[in-house]
Amino acid sequence: MNFPGSSEEAERRILERLENMRDNIVRLSSDLIRIPTVNPPGENYGEISSFLSKKMDEIGLKVEVFQASESKLKELGLKPPRPVVVGTLEAGKPEEALHFNGHYDVVPAGEGWTVEPFKPTVRNGRLYGRGASDMKGGIAAMLAAVEAVRKERVNLRGDLKLSFVPDEEIGGQTGTGCLAELGLMEGKAALIGEASGIDRVCVAHKGALWLEVAVKGEAAHTCMAHKAVNAVEKAAKIIVELGKLKEGFKAKATRTPMLSGHENPVINIGGVIRGGVKANVVPELCVFTVDRRLIPEENVEEAEAEIVGLIEEMGREDPQLQAEVKRILHVEAAFTPENEKICRVLVEAAGKVTGVKPQISGLPVFTDMHFFSQHMPSAIYGPGVLEKVHAADEYVPVEELVASAKVYALTILKMLA
Ligand SMILES: [Zn+2]
């Protein structure tokens, strides 16, 4: 370490610097919110990628831009550009890298706003706008932290890598998933800046399995209904059986930290359902979705096998029941043991900055953490209000923006200096 004075001295100066950067952090968050990177379909990605590249270049990071392969984009029906922007502070030790990750896409604004979703405004200490919590505030805090560390000229022992990615809101395959596919997941820890709130360190998130079940029948006039196979009726039988899985979930609570009330697997059947064309035609097809959420002790393969097995069993008992199951999305659950360094460092840093020992928890929704957790210990910590994520009047408390930036800076020092 070649900064002047002791490490405590450097810490103190960096925290002071970030306190003085309060307005800059709010401005940077606002600049990001003002670029409406709405997904779907994925708007203004080129603009935000240029903005983030320029910002990282100014801070002194080496900037590279990647994109998922054309075949991948085609397979998912997505249009370019979908830039994955990576900034590196090189120490010549990629194997020791600490990753900071954030997604720059936001969900559509939706209805019910009392402020303009893409014209950020500060009111009563809160910065309002779509993406304030999820998660442009987190991105701004990360950039501020790196800038502060950089300005204090702290020597780092390992690389610091910032990846700002698209498409987390649609599964992440062409965002953080692209980094994994390109083999850029080398390092010793990752921090995802999603809105945990500053008093919570998340070390786990649930997984998800989305299935589409297509149940076949025979089209016929209603007058033949007593003889034809009704696809909707067959689907209804399957839906009732799938619903019974919930009984088993009650006995299956996770032992990993998880937000209270979300300890068990859940299933949502028929989030989308369609069948039949007309009142007097026996439906020949009924298609419905299943969204099964997995606790960290479960995996996608087993959860799928359970559902497929159950439907196949029904088909053996009733030969007229014919259904095909197609996987439309899968995300493994993620979990990092609390005694991993990244978790300990975050808990300590958050405690130091906020004055309160943070709660260790897990998220009932999935994030890009799982892409990292297959390669290195990873955790989620960032500014924001969970209840306001994807909601109208989304906001982030300004205090949390500054506090997160401080926690990020301390994490860099503890992990790399
Ligand atoms: Zn998010």
Question: 386 CA distance to ligand 1 centroid (A)?
Answer: 10
Measured in Å, residue 10 CA sits from the centre of ligand 1 at: 32
How many other C-beta atoms are found inside a 10 Å radius of the C-beta of residue 160? 24
Across all residues in the chain, what is the average pLDDT? Answer: 96
Q: What is the pTM of this model?
A: 0.92
Whole-number Å distance, alpha carbon 194 to ligand 1 midpoint, is 5
If you measure from the C-alpha of residue 326 to the centroid of ligand 1, how many angstroms do you get, rounded to a whole number?
26
Mean of pLDDT values over 269-287: 97
Distance 102 CA to ligand 1 centre (A): 8
Distance of CA 228 from the midpoint of ligand 1 (Å): 47
Q: Is the pLDDT of residue 118 over 70?
A: yes
Q: What is the pLDDT of residues 292-310, one digit of tens each?
A: 999 999 999 999 999 999 9
Q: 7: pLDDT confidence band, cut at 50, 70 and 90?
A: confident
Q: What end-to-end distance do the CA atoms of the chain give, in Å?
A: 6
Q: How far is the CA of 335 from the centre of ligand 1 (A)?
A: 17
Q: Which three-class secondary structure state does DSSP give residue 149?
A: helix
197 C-alpha to ligand 1 centroid (Å): 12
Residue 33 parent element (H or E): helix 22-34
Homologous superfamily (CATH) of 7-205+333-416 is Zn peptidases (3.40.630.10)
Ligand 1 mean position to 390 CA, how many Å? 9
Give the residue among 388, 389, 370, 390 at the shortest CA–CA distance from 380: 370
Sequence spans of domains, the chain: 7-205+333-416, 207-331
Span 62-91, pLDDT tens digits: 999 999 999 999 999 999 999 999 999 999
Distance from the CA of 52 to the center of ligand 1, in angstroms? 17
User: Separation of 191 CA from ligand 1 center, angstroms?
Assistant: 13
**Residue 367 C-alpha to ligand 1 middle, in angstroms?**
7
Judged against a pLDDT cut of 90, whether residue 4 lies above it is answered with no
Query: How is domain 207-331 classified at the architecture level of CATH?
Result: 2-Layer Sandwich (3.30)
For ligand 1, the distance from its centroid to the CA atom of residue 283, given in whole angstroms, is 39
Taking only the tens place, the pLDDT of each residue in 226-276 is: 999 999 999 999 999 999 999 999 999 999 999 999 999 999 999 999 999
- DSSP states of 349-381: HHHHHHSSPPEEEEESS--THHHHHTTS-EEE-
d(CA 73, CA 240): 36
How does residue 6 score in pLDDT terms, banded at 50, 70 and 90? low
Expressed in angstroms and rounded, the spacing between residue 325 Cα and the centre of ligand 1 is 29
> Edge-to-edge, what's the strand order for the sheet holding 395-397?
121-123, 126-128, 395-397
CA–centroid distance, residue 166 to ligand 1 (Å): 10
Dump pLDDT digits (tens) for 121-130: 999 999 999 9
